[in-house]
Amino acid sequence: MNVPNGRRVAIISGCRTPFAKAGTVFRDIPAVELARHAARELIARTAVDPELVDQVIFGQVVPSVLVPNVAREVALLPQFPRTVPAYSLNRACASSAQAIADGFEQIRNGLADVVVAGGVESLSDVPILHSKRFAALLVEASRAKSPWQRLRILAKTRLRDLVPVTPAIAEPSTGETMGQNAEKMAKENGISREAQDRFAVRSHHLAAAGHADGRLAAEIAPYFLPPDYERIETSDNGVRADTSLEQVATLKPVFDRKYGTVTAANSSPLTDGAAAVLLMSEDRARALGYRPLAFIRSYAVAAVDPGEQLLMGPAFAVPKALDRAGINWKELGLVEMHEAFASQVLSNIQAFESKRFAEEKLGRTRAVGEVNWDTLNVMGGSISIGHPFGATGARIATTLANEMARRDVPFGLISICAQGGMGFAMVLERR
């Protein structure tokens, strides 16, 4: 997809908050603060002149009703001039990947030179809604002409109207939750409990190693917790170095208690966190003396029927992105797959490696590629590190770009499944 006259887009650096299980250390920190922290640290660490930033793009899946455009609040950090435009977007779990893709498009087409792209999620800070009937009564009461009238309207409230509505992670079109569908995928694709558990344990051990040797720590901006600033979060609290196959095997399946295989241990946890990357046109990066970690070569998005296998989007998006990049799977030196569920990762890998899937679903004669386990999710993934929906894409891009620079590999792949049956893939290159 190298458009004529398109400009190359560099990933200069990435930075994120620690990822924390929802309801733990970031319980009292609003999402907007997490997002601002990641962006402020990115600015500090790259020492980029904030005056040069043309656009701030942030992804968020469940925005607060009080801060509907979180990106603008990030751009209104005192470190930025007040004049940096910003927007927030939602492509479900691929939101911050999409923010990076948007930044890529704008820079490539000459509409911007420097973009801060990121994402945030706080599942400790989700909006709780009133019931429809109660909300309607409140609106009606607010329009009342007299206190008496207001009281009469509110008197119509019934006890069950007061039960709040909490948002579920269910597909609006099918009513099925993501976990239920992951369970369905495990069964239909024949992914065993043991394979899932083994993958989950691998994720934890690799993430723990990444923390221990400082590679993951390097991308984390320590979070000083107000009001005392004594507690300082420096790592992801979901990672368990000491976990084992035996331990994981003891967990009961969540979505099908009798015949199921998907457990809390082989799924990604609800997580709070934010991540951001700094994108620049190649020319600007060179002029400012930056040494880019990687360049964005291509990306692609695909969607499947959410009623079928909901999380198979990557199996369709990845070959598209590789085609657009003009490379083969074999040329990939590193692959980062978002781990929503072990069953989902393994199902997609199965599809990548399947000649039949390629023929039937992709209209190709050969399988997309064979996974090299030495280069897949080399520092774990969402199961261990955690998965703040809106932040995961930028987290993965950061991890991948850093590791590509360390290993000096020519190509790397990002693959993310997203709610609504969508899949997102992006190819990074180094040259």
Partner 1 sequence: MPAFTVEMDGAIAVVVFDLPGESVNKFSRAVKDEIAALIGQLRNDATVRGVVLMSGKKDTFIAGADIEEFVAAKTEAAFRTLSREGQKFLDELEAFPKPIVVAIHGACLGGGLELSLACHYRIASNHRKTVLALPEVQLGLIPGAGGCNRLPRLIGLRAALDMILTGKNIRADRALRIGLVDEVVSPAILRSVAVKTAAMLAESPVTRKPRGHWFLDRTRPGRALVFSQARKQVLRQTRGNYPAPLAAIEAVRFSLRHGLSRGLEHEAELFAKMAVTDVSRNLVNIFFATTALKKDPGVPPPAPEPLPVARLAVLGAGFMGAGIAVTAAEQAGVTVRMKDADLARVGKGLKAVSDVIQERLRKRSIDRREAARRIAMISGGVDYDSIRNADLVVEAVFEDLEIKRTVLRETEAVVRPECIFASNTSTIPIARIAEAAARPENVVGMHFFSPVHRMPLLEVIAAARTAPRTVVTAVAFGRSMGKTVIVVRDCPGFFINRILAPYINETGHLVMEGTPLEDLDRAMTAWGFPVGPVTLLDEVGLDVAAKAGKVMLEAFGERLRPAIRIDALVSDGRLGRKNGRGFYRYEKGRKAGIDAAVYGLLGVAKASGSGSEAVAERLSLAMLNEAARALEEGVIRSPRDGDIGAIYGIGFPPFKGGPFRLMDALGAEAVVAALERLASRHGPRFAPAQVLVDHARNGRHFYGD
Contact positions toward partner 1, by CB under 8 A? 36, 40-41, 44-45, 47-49, 77-79, 221-222, 224, 226-230, 232, 234
Q: Which is nearer to partner 1, 228 or 408 (CB)?
A: 228
What is the smallest separation between the CB atom of 126 and partner 1, expressed in angstroms? Answer: 22
Neighbour count for residue 129 (Cβ, 10 Å):
13
DSSP string, 40-105: HHHHHHHT--GGG--EEEEE-SS--SS-S-HHHHHHTSTTS-TT--EEEE-BTBTHHHHHHHHHHH
What is the smallest separation between the CB atom of 85 and partner 1, expressed in angstroms? Answer: 19
Three-class DSSP category at 396: helix
Would you give the DSSP letter of residue 418? E
What is the smallest separation between the CB atom of 196 and partner 1, expressed in angstroms? Answer: 37
- Is residue 15 flagged as an active site residue? no
Q: Which is nearer to partner 1, 77 or 195 (CB)?
A: 77
Q: Which is nearer to partner 1, 14 or 380 (CB)?
A: 14
Three-class DSSP category at 333: coil
| Residue spans of alpha helices (H) in 326-361 | 342-353, 355-357
Beta strands 86-89; 271-281: pairing state: unpaired
Q: Which is nearer to partner 1, 254 or 280 (CB)?
A: 280
Three-class DSSP category at 362: helix
What is the smallest separation between the CB atom of 406 and partner 1, expressed in angstroms? Answer: 17
Q: Which of these is catalytic: 15, 211, 338, 417?
A: 417
Query: Shortest CA distance to 51 belongs to which of 75, 74, 71, 35?
Result: 75
What is the smallest separation between the CB atom of 225 and partner 1, expressed in angstroms? Answer: 9
Beta strands 20-21; 271-281: pairing state: antiparallel
Q: Which of these is catalytic: 15, 93, 204, 205?
A: 93
Spell out the SS3 assignment of 87-130. Answer: EEECECECHHHHHHHHHHHHHHCCCCCEEEEEEEECCCCCCCEC
Q: Which is nearer to partner 1, 22 or 42 (CB)?
A: 42
> How far is Cα 160 from Cα 199, in angstroms, rounded to an integer?
44
Q: Which is nearer to partner 1, 34 or 351 (CB)?
A: 34
Q: The tokens of 82 are what?
A: 């007040």
Q: Which of these is catalytic: 37, 205, 211, 387?
A: 387
Which residues fall within 8 angstroms of residue 320, CB to CB, at 6 or more apart?
Answer: 300, 302, 425
Neighbour count for residue 264 (Cβ, 10 Å):
14
Three-class DSSP category at 31: helix
What is the smallest separation between the CB atom of 229 and partner 1, expressed in angstroms? Answer: 4
What is the smallest separation between the CB atom of 313 and partner 1, expressed in angstroms? Answer: 37
Q: Which is nearer to partner 1, 3 or 47 (CB)?
A: 47
- Is residue 417 flagged as an active site residue? yes
CA angle in degrees (0–180, nearest 5) for 107-419-313? 75
Residues with active-site annotation: 93, 387, 417
